[in-house]
Amino acid sequence: MQSTDTHPDPAAEWLVLKYGGTSVSSLERWRTIADTLEDRLASGHRLVVVCSALSQVSNRLESLLEAAEEGRDVHRGLDELRRDHRDLAGAMGLDLGELTGDLLTDLRRILEGIRLTGEVTPRLRARVLSAGELLSTRLGAAWLRGRGIPTAWQDARELLEARLVPRLSPERQYLSATCDHRFDPALDGRLRALAEPVVLTQGFLARLPGGDTALLGRGGSDTAAAYFAAKLAAKHLEIWTDVPGMFTSNPRSVPDARLLLRLGYGEAGELAAKGAQVLHPRSIRAAQASGIPIHVRCTPAPELPGTVISSPAPAEAAVRAVSERKGIVLVSMDVEGDWQGVGVIADIAGCFKAHGLSIDLLASSQTNLAVALDPRANHLGDEILGPLLDDLRELCVPRLIRPAASVSLVGSGIRTILHEWAGALELFEDEEVHLVAQGANDLALTLVVNESSADRLVRRIHDRLFGGEPPGRAFGPTWEELVAAPA
Ligand code: ADP
Ligand code: ASP
Ligand code: MG
């Protein structure tokens, strides 16, 4: 057991480290976390450690909400949730009841209330989902303290205030909130006043100005960590996850995907927005605004260098990755007569706005407009899409194409290297392409295809673009090589 000086340098620089679900789910991973924190403390830093809920816990809380809303039993699910936390607490030598009894009782009470009334508001949904991160961090902080690392547990809702945005739907306000990311001297002073140099807090959570719990959107722990890094002007932000960085494609479905050693903020942001789940898109924007480098690292393999995201991007224009997003709904609209007439597009866009839908991609041809909707930004149930189509019929002949998927080529200066990826486009020859969109920022080219074609297309495009020799200095080993390498 190692003990660390509890009186840190008052001017020490902040580092922010974020650990995702699988990174906080076992004692073995917590040992890696402790080793890393000891290393960073030894180099004289103050640390903010931002943790997710244990792996799958947020999904299970969502399922419990659904069960409660439909009047089904919630007790078995709650017992399973308790068992997983009890197993981790047991391995850590901690008493779950003592550390988290109040949270689990509260959760049972809220879910039982929802089951009885059959109603769940965004406000209650946020409270239920917040339990995952509160549970994991209560255990983590107690274990780190037991290991001799001076750690202060802090409730993220007392540290991060969400923005109240006028006319935003309650769903967005409570479940996909945003925060300011300018330097915050009050927060800096408050955390520096703590005796402990390590602050352990929750990702995903913030507080609305009235005091209610708000969430930062699914996958939003990365964003919480970026907000802390920006508000504290941290030296850098470390995102610790279950893969060794950002790859040229999702390494779990494309095993010869290559590690991207360096990326510009723009490229990384585009890659995240186009489906690379490893980073939440909003996290990159927050870090970029304050010029804070992001290091993506692998908790199961801490010796690997990972990906560094910073400005400027690697100099040479190149395609860096192929990404996909599933569950896209495409609305194809035939516009009779003069679609270029004044205000036609505005009227159609107004329909989407009136139904609370945000448009992801838009393309037009002679007599047709196509709009892609992303399920990560919208609820796309029939109760929303049916009334949308009814309204659109006043303006055009709409048709839904689903399930669809977007396949994106991401890289800087994509327009200037048409010749490099033109070969990859041949692979779309036998596919039905519903929409083609080129980002105005010159960082991505996206095609929307049938969902069933997407995995195969991504693998083939990846092979065409990145198969064979390593494509340049910014690219590292493949996932297969990294997994095969002895630890
Ligand atoms: P965490 O729980 O640590 O936040 P996530 O599950 O949110 O982790 O993100 C990590 C996952 O992102 C990886 O397991 C990987 O399957 C997926 N992923 C998708 N695209 C990429 C990519 N281009 N590079 C790396 N990982 C990716
Ligand atoms: N636990 C939350 C989720 O699964 C936030 C996160 O892990 O980023 O969405
Ligand atoms: Mg994540």
Residue-wise pLDDT for 132-142, tens only, equals: 999 999 999 99
Q: How many residues does the chain have?
A: 487
Q: Residue range 454-474: average pLDDT? A: 87
The number of the ligand 1 atom at minimal distance from the alpha carbon of 219 is 7
Q: Residue 119: exposed, middle, or buried by beta-carbon count in 10 A (0-12, 13-18, 19+)?
A: exposed
Residue list, ligand 1 pocket, CB within 6 Å: 20-23, 52, 219, 241-243, 246-247, 249-252, 276-278, 321
Q: Tell me, what's the pLDDT at 312?
A: 74
* Mean of per-residue pLDDT scores for the chain: 92
pLDDT of amino acid 467: 87
The number of angstroms, rounded, from the C-alpha of 374 to the middle of its chain's C-alpha atoms is 14
Helix axes 75-92, 122-146, angle to 10 degrees: 20
pLDDT of residue 339: 59
Report which DSSP code applies to 402.
Answer: E
pLDDT score, position 2 = 42
Instruction: Please tell me if the CB atom of residue 52 comes closer than 6 angstroms to any atom of ligand 2.
Output: yes
pLDDT band at 7 (very low <50, low <70, confident <90, very high): low
Q: Could you tell me if 150 and 198 are in contact, meaning their C-beta atoms sit under 8 angstroms apart? A: yes
* Count of beta carbons in the 10 Å neighbourhood of residue 425: 16
Atom 25 of ligand 1: nearest residue by CA position: 246
Placement of tokens 């991505």 in the chain: 444
Task: Indicate whether 317 pLDDT > 90.
Answer: no
Q: Give which of 301, 315, 320, 304 is closest to 247, Cα–Cα.
A: 320
Across 118-219, the runs of DSSP E, i.e. the strands, are 151-153, 198-202, 205-207, 213-215
Per-residue pLDDT tens for 245-300? 999 999 999 999 999 999 999 999 999 999 999 999 999 999 999 999 999 999 99
Rounded to an integer, what distance in angstroms lies between the CA atom of residue 439 and that of residue 160?
32
Whose alpha carbon is nearest atom 4 of ligand 1?
Answer: 20
Is 205:23 a contact under the CB 8 Å cutoff? no
Q: Could you tell me whether strands 198-202 and 318-334 are parallel, antiparallel, or unpaired per DSSP bridges?
A: unpaired
Rounded to whole angstroms, the Cα distance separating 257 from 463 reads: 9
Strand partners, 438: 445
Per-residue pLDDT at 313 exceeds 80: no
pLDDT of residue 1: 40
Which atom of ligand 2 is found nearest the CA of 59? 4
Query: 56-78, pLDDT tens digit by residue?
Result: 999 999 999 999 999 999 999 99
| Ligand nearest to the backbone CA of 248 | 1
The distance from CA 481 to its chain's CA centroid, rounded to whole angstroms, is: 26
- pLDDT, residue 4, reads 45
User: Measured in whole angstroms, how far is the alpha carbon of residue 204 from the centre of its chain?
Assistant: 10
Neighbours of 299 (CB within 10 A): 23
Give the mean pLDDT of 395-410: 95
Q: Which of 118-127, 175-184, 223-232, 313-322 has the lowest mean pLDDT?
A: 313-322
Report the pLDDT averaged over residues 24-49.
Answer: 98
pLDDT category of residue 473 using cuts at 50, 70 and 90: confident
pLDDT of residue 18: 98
Any idea which of 164-168, 203-207, 208-212 has the lowest mean pLDDT?
Answer: 164-168
Question: For residue 144, what are its two tokens?
Answer: 């780190």
Q: What is the DSSP pairing of strand 258-260 with strand 475-478?
A: antiparallel
